Structure formats: C-alpha cells, structure tokens
Structure 1
C-alpha cells in the first residue's frame, strides 16, 4: 500500500466538508479564506481522486451525488480529528506553550472568569493567548466542528456528545433605580411582576439566559422594556426608570456600586447558575489543550472558593 494515503491531499477533505455545508463555492471560499478558483480547483482534484462528481450544481445550489452523500457522513468527523491532530505536540510544560486558544463564552463569563484566567496566564504561561468568541449560531457550529477549543456555558448549552465539568457557580440580585417605587417601598413578588424588565437574548437556541428560562418555568409573565445581547450593559438601562434587571452576583461585584442604583435580593429563590467548561472528546489527544484545560479548572476552583459580595 505504501505511505502515500493513495495520494489523497487531506486538505481536499476540508474543502469537501465546507462545500457540503454551504452548498456554494462562493461561501466555501469565504469560510476557508480562499479564492473561488482555489475552491473549484480543490473540488476538481477531489473528483479526479474519487472518480466521482461528489457535488454538482442544481440551479443555484450544489447537491451531492450518491457517493458524495456517502462521504458527507464521514468527512466532518475526519476533518475535526485532523484539526486536532495538527495541533498535537509532544508533552510540554504549560509555561513553554506558544498558542492561541479560542473560547466560546458570554460577556459575563469574559468579565468574571476569563479576565482572571488571562491575568494568571500572563504570569505562568505568557506564550498563551485567548481569543474569546461571542455566542452565535455560527460560533456554536464552529465549536461542534472543532474550530473552537473550549465552550463555557450553562447546563442548557450542553450536548451529550460533549465532554464537560463544572467550572464555577453564581447567584443573582435585582438591580433597581434608587428612586423607583419598588426601591422605596420594598421589592416583593407583586412589584417584581408589575415592573418592566431588562433581559438578555443571545439568539442561540431559544435565546434565553438561565434566569429567563427559570422565569418561564415558573410561569412568570413579565413585561420587557429592552432585550440586549449583553449582560454587562444591563445596569445602564436601569437609572431613571422603573426597570428591573436580575444580574449575576459576580458581575455586580466587577461593575461596582453606583449612586443611582440599589441592589436587593430577589423576592424569590433563584436556583444558582453553574457554568461548565465544555470540550470535544478528540481533545484528549491534544496535550497542550489538556494542560490548558487543567489550568482553566484550577482558576475555576479558586473562583468557587471565593464567595462574591456586593454592597450598594
């Protein structure tokens, strides 16, 4: 058989994988940062190797041949494994790693956890950098295909096929304008439900956060004053309004007190949020990623041992 893998250029598999998903040479070229002629050339070479059309145009989109449909079920996992293989190195100390790790996370996690991790890495592993990717359907797909190293998210972001472990927990407070009726007279359940709310929506899945999902489970029918794709800016929509935002304790600690706002306990017990560190099974062969994961878990453990406090 020899050592030439039947003369198959493995980069052709990356192009076939993208073409199957996008059904377009133009979109594949954009995704792979190639010219359209380079993508067309890759498809031509793949056709020659497999002696099959693989994909063909039917109107405005590409459709797989029967053989193309067969390999479409094989190629994505192969590409994910090849990406993992290309990142593998002999065992090395964390301090000697020179690599950028990508992390899919919310701005809340970026503020309360990744900022702490980045500070620690600057001291113990200065060759490591972080690239934080915000949540989106496209980014979730990148993670599933192995293009993003880690995902940090709550339980409802998990899939059975992913590896995961708890990273840290957090609770919640309600933030009100100090001059609001609820702040002056006390926040009870009735006033909470009557007030307009500032909530988040990241437009992934149902878009709701841990708190909004719990509200829905309780049957709380709240009015929405604004829906934002960010946790960090929630307090900026409270001053001078009757609005309420239910915000993570650790995030409030990061933001600090403001003269025009008050922070109070919710008029009910919100289940604590657990953020998980999530990764793909193929990462077990990536020694650098395993060491990075251990460092991330150590920072999470220290965060769990530190109870957040906030004084308005």
Structure 2
C-alpha cells in the first residue's frame, strides 16, 4: 500500500534500521534478506532525499533528519497497531492477542503467574509475554513495544499513563530457625547487627526499594550476599542467621514454599507505591482495558 507515493512497509523497515543501526540485524528482525533490506534503505533515502543512516567506522549513525523523523514514524506505527488491534466487541474467550508485560520477578510471582493461571480457562487464546525491566524499558514503552510496565514509582519516567496499582509494605524475612525473629518480632538493634541478603537490580545500577529507603534515612545494613532477583533471596536465608527486607506479598507467597518467618519492620519504612504504566495511545483499547482490570483484581485479592 502506498500513501503519497511512499510504500508504507518502508516505515517498518525505517523503524528497524533506526533501532538496530544495522542493515543485517534489521533484515533478521523483519525476516528479510540483507539485499532486500539494503534496497529498502535505498528507497527510503530516495523518497526523503536524505541519507538517513551514515556509516561511521563500523556502525551506522542517523542523520539529524532521521532523528527528527523517528518519533513521528514510531507514533504512526503505534497508532496503526492500536487501530488494527481494537475491536468494539473484544471477547477474551476467543481473542488471539498477545500482550507484553515488563515487571520484576517479584511482581511476576505475585500477580502475573496467577493471571496466566486464570487465563487458561477464561482466555485460552491470549498470550502473555513477560520480561524483566531493562535500561531501554521506558523508551520501549513509549514506542509501543511494551503494553504494560509494573514498577515502583521511583523507577518510572517518560510520557506515558501511570497510576498506583497497590501499596506494598516491607517486612523482615528470615529462616524460620533464626532466633533473631523468634516470636514474629525483631528489634532495630538485632536488625542492624545481623548480616543481610540484598537485591541489586540492573547489574548493580539500581537499588532495591528497601535499600533506597535506608540510604535516604542515612542507615546502612551489613550485606553478606546479593542476588539479582527477589525470588532468589530465600535460598540464601534458609539454615542461616541472615535477614532480608522483602515485599510483604512475596514473603507471604514464598513462606509456603520455604521455611521462612517474617516480622514487621522494627522502624518505619513507607509502603512502596507500585505503579502500572501504559502508552496513552492504548487508553481506549478494549483489550488493554480488560487486561488492566484483571491485573487490578488480582492485586486487590492478594492484598
């Protein structure tokens, strides 16, 4: 299909080229041959009268015009995607849609896993693709490559719609045989005297909510071990006297699978505001509205 002389398929090729900055990787992404992708770039250059991508060293770099054009192209492609996915009579029982959700492993365990279990019966054709947050996640959400992002408030950014999905208290978690947590309580002195397991996100670039709050309070705990995902913490608690600060929902869920005990924090830490974010262009998408409502219902039920 052409619009004002432009083959609209070339916009998809342009998006891939700008994302990968590589003709060969763009070809792989779109399941095309490398000569076909090279031809697409040549046609784009002819149409816009600009080089668009220039080879500098071993990498291609966009021209100023291509940088200016990119947001408009991505917004147009997203608009088309939303238009084609909409249905005034969205029926989850018969829909074959796929949704991409990006969130932590903790939210996956407490919300997304129960959601997928429910969909087996009520929406067997719907597919949920899950991913962990990456440095590019916010940009991908803005480009419409991600449907829903669920993260703490301090992580979100960019120009998308967000709201509080739920408030999450923090608790102290320990092996059930740890004497420091006997009786379901722990003192502040015992908390800071103990060794801890901490979660370090993004290759160490992002503090977990608990450590961010402790840093703001000017308090440091003694870290004996770190892990990259929240669900790995219990493995380093069992059989030891270590402690961990854990999201209350996750602690409740994991207590049934590990020999864990929990106690309230011995000092005040504000509850974490867990945010659900999505692209403004999908505000009126019936399928997205349905998916958000299902996630919200599970969040309320597990509170």
TM-score between the two structures when normalised by the length of structure 1: 0.84
> Could you say which residue in structure 2 is the equivalent of 1:310?
none
- Cα contact 1:100–1:131 (8 A) shared by 2: yes
The offset of 1:280, in angstroms, is 0.5
Structure 1 residues not aligned, in runs of 5+: 305-312
SS at match of 2:16: helix
Choose which of 159, 162, 166 in structure 2 pairs with 1:161.
159
TM-fit CA distance, 1:179: 5.3
| Residue 282 of structure 2 is aligned to residue 265 of structure 1 | no
1:104-137 C-alpha deviation (Å, 9 max, x unpaired): 1111111111122223323322222211111222
Higher mean displacement: 20-29 or 213-222: 20-29
Aligned pairs for 1:1-312 within 5 A:
4-159=2-157, 161-178=159-176, 180=178, 182-183=180-181, 187-203=186-202, 206-257=205-256, 261-304=260-303
* Secondary structure in 1 matching 2:230: coil
CA 1:229/1:31 → structure 2, altered by over 3 Å: closer, same or farther? farther
| 2:115/2:298 contact within 8 Å kept | yes
* Deviation of the 1:257 alpha carbon: 5.0
Partner Cα distance (2:188, 2:198) in 1? 17
Change (3 A) 1:260 1:299: closer
* CA-to-aligned-CA distance 1:231-260 (integer Å, 9 cap, x gap): 111011013333211112221221225785
CA contact (8 A) 1:172 1:247 kept: yes
Q: CA deviation at 1:180?
A: 4.8
Q: Which moved more, 1:48-57 or 1:147-156?
A: 48-57
1:70/1:144 CA distance change after superposition, 3 Å = closer
Q: Report SS of the residue matched to 1:232.
A: helix
Answer with 282-291 or 16-25: which moved more: 16-25
2:36 and 2:137 mapped to 1: Cα distance? 25
Aligned residues of 1:104 and 1:152 also touching (Cα < 8 A): yes
Instruction: Identify if the C-alpha distance between structure 1 residues 94 and 47 changes in structure 2 by more than 3 Å, giving closer, same or farther.
Output: same
Q: CA deviation at 1:205?
A: 9.2
Q: Distance in 2 between matches of 1:17 and 1:145?
A: 10
The TM-score, its normalising length taken from structure 2, stands at 0.87
Q: Confirm or deny: 8 A CA contact 1:103 1:150 kept in the other structure.
A: yes
Q: CA 1:168/1:33 → structure 2, altered by over 3 Å: closer, same or farther?
A: farther
Please state how far the C-alpha of 1:21 moved relative to its aligned partner: 3.8
Q: CA RMSD in A?
A: 2.7
Asked whether the equivalents of residues 174 and 263 of structure 1 are also in contact (C-alpha less than 8 Å), the reply is yes
- Kindly state the Cα deviation for residue 181 of structure 1 after the two structures are TM-superposed: 6.1
Tell me, in whole angstroms, the C-alpha distance in 2 between the residues paired with 1:190 and 1:269. 14
| Counterpart contact for 1:137–1:204, Cα < 8 Å | no
C-alpha spacing 1:115/1:68, structure 2 compared with 1 (3 Å):
closer
Stretch moving more, 19-28 or 224-233: 19-28
CA distance in 2, matches of 1:259, 1:161: 40
Q: Post-superposition shift, 1:39?
A: 2.5
Unaligned runs of 5+ in 2: none
